[in-house]
Amino acid sequence: MNLLSPKQIARRAVLAPGALYRRAATHGVSRSQATRVLHLVLLLAVLHQVISSKIIHRPLPGDAPSTLFMLHEYIGLASLGIVSAFWLWALVRHGETSFANLFPWLSPRRILAVIDDGVGHLHAVLRRDASYEGSGALASAVHGLGLLVVTAMAATGTVLFFFGGLVWHYAMSLHRVIANLMWAYLIGHAGIATLHHLLGSDMLRRMFWIRRGITLTAERSQNAPAPSQDYAGTSRR
């Protein structure tokens, strides 16, 4: 059997975007009800934190903190609990995006799948093709990066709540940098999702329409489970 070199694989990915690792839309990874709820709750918490951070003021020594400042602190602590629950759920769930696909950066094969999927989406946008689903490799990798950023933001915020002094100052500097990364991620993520929506994709409905998620979960429970396909072209159970 003749194996393609990495250069040949990359060239084919550019010339025929999505051809290497494409999955049919009907065989895409389904999101469970728990994933949808955790995603929505985490999104609302993050939106509250990044928006409120622009209007709150840290109280001076001896002054009582404002209600909005206290909400920012306690919702930040709750966000660490939510994102921790998301990590645990990602570890135990079945039939959804795997850890290897959320964090593909140590696998050359999966990195090529991300590049291939990204090129395919770019070509689809240029063609105004809302039907293109791709392999999901790019979306999964982007979600993995977002999960890391949210975790770091919540963790540094928790350090700010419980520590003071030099630790607080270092944590605050890091927290501000991470918050800016979170803004960039949210704007980019929302912009791409909105673009797909304007092109006619039902991406937003599939992600947030929780009642639809209940229906899909019920439908899947009536069917025998089938091996899922990862983004590098190998089957796993």
Neighbours of 88 (CB within 10 A): 11
In a domain, 88, yes or no: yes
Distances (CA, A) of 75 to 41, 45, 112: 11, 7, 38
- Domain range for 48: 31-55+65-100+108-219
In a domain, 229, yes or no: no
Give the model's confidence band at 136: pLDDT under 50 very low, under 70 low, under 90 confident, else very high: confident
Query: Tens digits of per-residue pLDDT, 140-156?
Result: 899 999 999 999 999 99
Interval 22-51 mean pLDDT: 76
Q: What is the pLDDT of residue 107?
A: 92
Q: What is the pLDDT of residue 84?
A: 96
For 121-148, letters b (16+ CB in 10 Å) and e give: beebeeeeebebbbbbbbbbbbbbebbb
pTM above 0.95, yes or no: no
In a domain, 115, yes or no: yes
User: How many domains would you assign to the chain?
Assistant: 1
CATH number where 142 lies: 1.20.950.20
